[in-house]
Structure 1
Amino acid sequence: MRYFSVSAQCGSFRAASEQLHVATSAISRQIKLLEDELGEPLFERSAGRKQLRLTAAGELLMNYIRNDESEMRRMRSDIDALKGMRRGKINFGVPESFVRDFLPETLAAFQQQYPNITYNIQVSGTPKLLEMLARDELDFALSFNPQPISDIKHIYEMLLPTCVLAHVTHPLASKKSVRLSDCAEYDIALPDSSVSAKVVYDQMFSDSRIEPRTNLTSNSYELLRSMAIQGLSIAIVNSHISHSSSSKTQYRYIPFDDPRVKPQRLTCCIRRGRNLSVTALTLIEFFKKSLFQLENNK
């Protein structure tokens, strides 16, 4: 089963051989025995094919292995939980906009209660995080404006106001609120096509019949924010996500008062049917409580 799993992940028996330090012939022989036992081929075999491709039976077996590995990880984490959560590892993903303030602040508070928990944190855009969730590479993920996916379940949701971020000296910084048309005459930093929010922003500008003066595009929200904070442009972002009471003397978040500008939908999501460990569930509840406090303190 392990030879099969690694071969499927690597895409070839030769690559699996190098990873497992086992002869290619031994891997091929064991998989043939597995296919004979199941009575179905697990890989498509045709002349000239370089990349291994799973058959329908192979896909079913791979899903079984993923679920079995997931259950084993959960069992180990639950045993750790019985010891008072003295140990445990949580794999989760977040968008880049959480990295600067919210995530370090929240994990610092969580770590005070559970000091020996370790984390594997993936920082990426929502589409990539949802792909990783579906492959069981993450326990859960925070996402912005996710597209509906049958395998993904959203267990928490909140709406964050969409704002303009501008340097304190920018003409828009003195306004209590803005419309999208107010942004038309200024340089603006926008996400590129790899970021899911680009579709939302493009639709907003199209509905308003506005051609934005884009002076920078990037897949990094932190770069877009930094450009605006330095006064090189303005940026359209969600409201600040932080427990800190920074005065933000050098920049301003100006809310939109425009029906064409929708709030950002923030969700916490898991793979449907996934049984999470006690440690992961505890961290999710901690995140939810922290986000709820932020929402009610605004």
Structure 2
Amino acid sequence: MHSLDERCLRYLAEAVGCGSVRAAADKLNVNASAVSRQLAQMEVQLATPLIERHSRGVRATPAGALLLDYHRRQASDREDILAKLAALKGLRRGHIGVVLGEGFIGDLMSGLLQGFWARHPALTMTLDLAATNDVVRRVVEDEAHLGLVYNPPPEPRLRTHLAMPHPIRVLVREDHPLASHRGPVRLADLAGHRLGTMHPATGIRQIIAAAEQAEGARLEPALTTGSIGVLKQFVASGTGVTLLPAFCAAPEMAAGILVALPLADPGLNAVEARIVTRLGRQLPPAAAALLQHLARGMAGTLTGTSSGGGMAGAGEAGRGDRAGSP
């Protein structure tokens, strides 16, 4: 079997990641011809093309994609073993990469992370916001240790550590006319109310679109945005209503500003928030400790035993959800 040169693998990863050999060479501070020559030699050695050129640059062939996956796993395994060696002296150092949807931020910062840092003050962390598909991609490609994701698509390379039901709700201000609505709300009931929604490409909006089709309703949003924060301000200001999982607005609901109303469509009630990692990845001790802390804290909300904050439970229990689970 041919040996795989680490430098060549890095050249391949940068060429594909940057989109061109020249951009990769600039990033690596080497001559572009040297990158091209090394890639060509590896293709000859392995007797298969690794990149293909197109009008916008280069992309990996199926063989190149296999090598890139191998390279990413090697890098993550190297990082993980170094972290484990350091942990033999105690969990006093380590960095954790987390990628998550915007809706998780308020809840994490208001409780769960404070409890984690109280136990492990020397650990550092990167929190990156991303859309659902990008959260999945970055976890699968080992760009992050953990992912917090809402209703992810099927992905055999993901391992789910905790799945919590978090149905989509109608969020309204406490004094809004819909706040006194009895029973689950139908999408058709939103007609005549100014509506704000996420962009059509987002997972939340796609779930809502399927419910529109099933119910035979057609929503006409007055506001479309990629920001959950914008939608919450839209509702809190009294400008309109929105459709979001209630945990996205847990602080506003706890403060009595917003109310979450259940929806009638079954498809809007069968969605979940998940903690995920790449299947087969052995997490370094710092990331494993955070995973355990998050899973314990978030699962505790289902039984009412959580003491460190966490997402609202399956029925979004709290002062802001007047209707409870449908």
TM-score by length of 1: 0.88
Quick one: structure 1 residues 231 and 263, their matched pair in 2 at CA, closer, same or farther if it must change by over 3 Å?
Answer: farther
Which residue of the partner structure matches residue 87 of structure 1?
93
CA distance in 2, matches of 1:207, 1:43: 44
Contact kept, 8 Å, 2:252 with 2:258, in 1: the verdict is no
Q: CA RMSD in A?
A: 2.6
Aligned residue identity for 1:6: E
Q: How does 1:144-223 map to 2 (within 5 A)?
A: 144-175=150-181, 177-180=183-186, 181-223=188-230
Change (3 A) 1:242 1:76: farther
- Return closer, same or farther for 1:217/1:243 CA change in 2, 3 Å cut-off: closer
Q: Is the 8 A contact 1:7 1:16 kept in 2?
A: yes
The answer for the alignment partner of 2:22 in structure 1 is 14
Residue 124 of structure 1 corresponds to which residue in structure 2?
Answer: 130
Between 271-280 and 177-186, report the one with greater CA deviation. Answer: 177-186
- In 1, Cα distance between equivalents of 2:56 and 2:299: 51
User: Which residue pairs with 1:77 in the alignment?
Assistant: 83
Secondary structure in 1 matching 2:106:
coil
On the 8 A contact 2:167/2:246 being kept in 1, the answer is yes
C-alpha distance in 2, partners of 1:189/1:7? 41
3-state DSSP class of the match of 1:115?
coil
Residue 24 of structure 2 aligns to a residue whose secondary structure is helix
- Does the 8 Å CA contact 2:106/2:251 hold for their aligned counterparts? no
With over 3 angstroms needed to count, the CA separation of the structure-2 counterparts of 1:77 and 1:182, relative to structure 1, is same
Call closer, same or farther: CA 1:56–1:206 in 2, change over 3 Å.
Answer: closer
SS state at 2:76 partner: helix
* 1:229 aligned onto 2:246: no
Letter matched to residue 92 of structure 1: V
Q: Cα gap change, 1:33/1:228 in structure 2, threshold over 3 Å: closer, same or farther?
A: same
Assess if the C-alpha contact under 8 Å between 2:199 and 2:224 holds in 1: yes
Change in 2 beyond 3 A, CA 1:20/1:257: closer
| 2-structure distance, mates of 1:118, 1:210 | 47
Residue identity opposite 1:155 in structure 2: H
Q: Show the 5 A alignment for 1:130-141.
A: 130-141=136-147
Q: Hey, what does 2:102 align to over in structure 1?
A: 96
Runs (5+) with no aligned partner, structure 2: 1-7, 305-316, 318-326
Trace 1:287-298 onto structure 2 (pairs within 5 A): 287-297=294-304, 298=317
| Count of residues paired in the alignment | 296
Shift of 1:81: 2.2
Structure-1 separation of matches of 2:220 and 2:56: 47
Gaps of 5+ in 1: none
Give the superposition deviation at 1:244: 6.6
Shift of residue 99, structure 1, vs aligned partner: 1.4
Partner AA of 1:123 in structure 2? L
Aligned-partner Cα distance in 1 for 2:251–2:119: 20
3-state SS of paired residue (1:101): helix
1:30 aligns to what? 38
Q: Determine if contact 1:184/1:210 at 8 Å carries over to the other structure.
A: no
More deviation in 36-45 or 201-210?
Answer: 36-45
Task: For 1:42 and 1:60, locate their aligned partners in 2 and report how far apart those are by CA, in whole Å.
Answer: 9
Query: Partner of 1:273 in structure 2?
Result: 280
Q: Distance in 2 between matches of 1:223 and 1:255?
A: 21
SS in 2 for 1:148: coil
Bigger Cα displacement from structure 2, 172-181 vs 131-140 = 172-181
Q: Does the 8 Å CA contact 1:7/1:13 hold for their aligned counterparts?
A: yes
Q: Match for 2:164: what amino acid?
A: M
Aligned to 1:52, the other structure's residue is in SS state strand
The answer (yes or no) to whether the contact 1:192–1:198 under 8 Å persists in 2 is yes
Q: How far off is 1:109 after superposition?
A: 1.0
Alpha-carbon distance in 2 for matches of 1:50, 1:252: 48
Whether the 8 Å CA contact 2:84–2:284 is kept in 1: the answer is yes
